[in-house]
């Protein structure tokens, strides 16, 4: 048996999916320090989603015998190709130095939102214990003498930012074990007081998470559930720290899960553990900040009762007409039928340029050409073809994004070339030095045009179509004479002699051999 282990820093310039395939009897893959394909003798491929940046990659493969090939291949997501093929990793996949400039141009994250600090002097107390409150004890002020289950502390404050917050308290307790409930509107969070060593040793403790649905006035309260020892706890500070990421909020009889925006085809709710005989869920909502996706606004079962023909991509619409008297049937009747399939156009983005030539008569002709490389000062025309967006009898527009390397430069509108063409164009002027309304590019930069294709047949959901133009970057010229040979067929053969062009061997210096009967070929 023999094995191979590949590892390195994988470069991902743009966020997207990658399929990794491994050849071997036993294979495994880890990306970013996380095992994405556990050791397996059956599954030999895995799909991963990579954010823009550099990711650690480890691939393991082993064979029982030495005669089999060990190999690793990959395929990057391409929304213009429904059948991506696995190809060998190449040098650019691991060229961190070459990708450094591109990655460093990613927009820097702004400063983190400041936590919301509760004013302890403004605490509203509902007490049974006479001395329960905010007072100076020892080396500073604190809420103390929290000794009865009726002792409650409440804070009223104002929040201008909606979203998720983590609630942290700075507390002290000798032994720990007390339990309390935090109430924030209809959100309830139970927490257990940790042991800090003594009532004079304070430490930060995460209570839980709350979700602010509406900006404005808010109230938060802490009520004891179980008091252990000399009191529930002593507390000096309470903060609401803005939170970004995935989390769960518990309301009275409701759990609410939230996460960063992500492209989804389906969702699955899985209950891993429960008490009792079964789990009962009678209502599920999937919504964003302004729009509810599930349940839908219209009951799907009632769509057939309205005045509109509801169709989806792929449906076939058939229309029939009975011609009662037809010459083709000798005066009899016949049934005429026509069909139309409902579908969407897969949008495409293409960078183009134009050449102007003058003929002998003096007329100027315009020639359209595809564009790949430019110099600062050139104009780029991006052409978006999406017949779905030809929606009016006027020249329509579609929004596009222009990116320079990893940074969005501007949001622009591409205008339809004709009233019913479905082809939209937008122009971008480039310069080497800053100038109003023009894109600054340097050698080696990449300019992207991104268009959100909302309706399509592949991949079947909203997707960003994009095209790229490269800023010219000088390279060292190379010229060589290609070494040639010539096959000579046997005398009794009717075959003709054929030239053979030999590949370049960089380790061989000096003159190369050429065949006198083969045209001299020079490669630049």
pLDDT in tens, 215-263: 999 999 999 999 999 999 999 999 999 987 788 887 777 788 887 777 6
Q: Which of 9, 27, 21 is nearest to 76 (CA)?
A: 21
Q: Which residue has the higher pLDDT, 30 or 324?
A: 30
Find the mean pLDDT for residues 482-493: 91
The burial class, CB within 10 Å (0-12 / 13-18 / 19+), for 359 is exposed
**Structure confidence by residue, pLDDT tens digits, 10-27:** 999 888 889 999 999 999
CB-based contact 4:69 (threshold 8 Å): no
- Specify the pLDDT at position 217: 94
Tell me the C-alpha distance between 193 and 205, whole Å: 8
**Structure confidence by residue, pLDDT tens digits, 78-131:** 877 778 899 999 999 999 887 777 776 555 556 778 999 999 999 999 999 999
Give 41's contacts (C-beta < 8 A, 6+ positions apart): 25, 26, 27
Q: Which of 132, 184, 187, 116 is nearest to 154 (CA)?
A: 184
Is the pLDDT assigned to residue 37 strictly greater than 90? yes
- The predicted model scores a pTM of 0.58
Domains of the chain: 2-104 (3.90.182.10), 116-255 (2.60.120.260), 348-471 (2.60.40), 477-524 (no CATH)
Q: Which residue has the higher pLDDT, 428 or 366?
A: 428
Find the mean pLDDT for residues 150-154: 95
**76 falls in which pLDDT band (50, 70, 90)?**
very high
User: Over the chain, what is the mean pLDDT?
Assistant: 89
Is the pLDDT assigned to residue 390 strictly greater than 70? yes
- Specify the pLDDT at position 286: 84
**Structure confidence by residue, pLDDT tens digits, 392-406:** 999 999 999 999 988
User: In the 8-state DSSP scheme, what is residue 12?
Assistant: E
- Specify the pLDDT at position 457: 82
**Structure confidence by residue, pLDDT tens digits, 465-476:** 999 999 998 888
- Specify the pLDDT at position 106: 56
**Structure confidence by residue, pLDDT tens digits, 320-336:** 999 988 887 887 889 99
Query: CA-based angle 492:494:500, to the nearest 5?
Result: 105
Query: CA-based angle 420:421:422, to the nearest 5?
Result: 100
Please report which helix (H) or strand (E) contains residue 427, including its range.
strand 423-431
**Structure confidence by residue, pLDDT tens digits, 262-319:** 766 667 888 888 888 988 888 888 887 788 888 877 776 676 677 778 787 778 999 9
């Amino acid at each position: 048996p023999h094995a191979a282990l590949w590892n390195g820093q994988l470069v991902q310039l743009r966020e997207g999916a990658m399929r990794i395939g491994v050849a071997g009897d036993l294979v495994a893959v880890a990306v970013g320090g996380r095992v994405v394909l556990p050791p397996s003798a059956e599954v030999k491929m895995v799909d991963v989603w990579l954010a823009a940046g550099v990711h650690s990659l480890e691939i393991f493969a082993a064979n029982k015998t030495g005669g089999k090939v060990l190999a690793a291949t990959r395929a990057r997501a391409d929304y213009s190709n429904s059948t991506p093929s696995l190809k060998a990793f190449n040098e650019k996949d691991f060229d961190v130095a070459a990708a450094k400039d591109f990655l460093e141009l990613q927009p820097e994250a702004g400063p983190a939102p400041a936590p919301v600090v509760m004013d302890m002097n403004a605490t509203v107390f509902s007490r049974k214990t006479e001395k329960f409150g905010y007072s100076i004890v020892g080396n500073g002020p604190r809420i103390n003498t929290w000794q009865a289950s009726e002792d409650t502390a409440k804070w009223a404050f104002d929040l201008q930012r909606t979203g998720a917050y983590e609630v942290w308290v700075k507390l002290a307790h000798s032994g720990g074990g007390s339990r309390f409930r935090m109430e924030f509107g209809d959100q309830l969070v139970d927490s257990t007081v940790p042991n800090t060593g003594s009532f004079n040793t304070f430490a930060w403790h995460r209570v839980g998470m709350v979700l602010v649905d509406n900006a404005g006035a808010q109230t938060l309260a802490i009520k004891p559930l179980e008091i252990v020892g000399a009191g529930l706890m002593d507390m000096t500070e309470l903060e609401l720290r803005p939170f970004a990421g995935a989390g769960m909020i518990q309301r009275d009889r409701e759990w609410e899960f939230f996460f960063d925006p992500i492209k989804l085809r389906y969702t699955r709710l899985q209950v891993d553990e429960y008490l009792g005989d079964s789990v009962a869920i009678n209502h599920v909502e999937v919504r964003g900040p302004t729009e509810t996706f599930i349940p839908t606004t219209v009951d799907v079962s009632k769509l057939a009762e309205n005045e509109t023909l509801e169709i989806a991509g792929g449906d076939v619409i058939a229309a029939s007409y009975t011609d009662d008297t037809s010459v083709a049937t000798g005066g009899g009747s016949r049934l005429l039928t026509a069909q139309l399939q409902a579908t969407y156009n897969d949008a495409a983005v293409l960078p183009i340029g134009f050449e102007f030539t003058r003929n002998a008569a003096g007329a100027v002709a315009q020639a359209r050409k595809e564009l790949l490389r430019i110099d600062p000062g050139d104009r780029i025309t991006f052409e978006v073809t999406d017949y779905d967006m030809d929606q009016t009898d006027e020249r329509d527009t579609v929004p596009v994004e222009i990116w320079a390397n990893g940074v969005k430069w501007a949001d622009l509108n591409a205008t339809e070339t004709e009233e019913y063409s479905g082809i939209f164009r937008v122009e971008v002027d480039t310069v080497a030095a800053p100038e109003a309304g023009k894109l600054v590019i340097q050698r080696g930069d990449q300019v992207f045009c991104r268009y959100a294709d909302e309706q399509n047949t592949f991949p079947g959901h909203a997707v960003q179509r994009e095209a790229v133009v490269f800023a010219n970057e000088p390279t060292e010229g190379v010229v060589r004479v290609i070494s040639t040979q010539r096959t000579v067929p046997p005398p009794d053969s009717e075959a003709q002699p054929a030239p053979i062009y030999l590949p370049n061997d960089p380790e061989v210096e000096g003159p190369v051999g050429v065949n006198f009967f083969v045209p001299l070929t020079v490669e630049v």
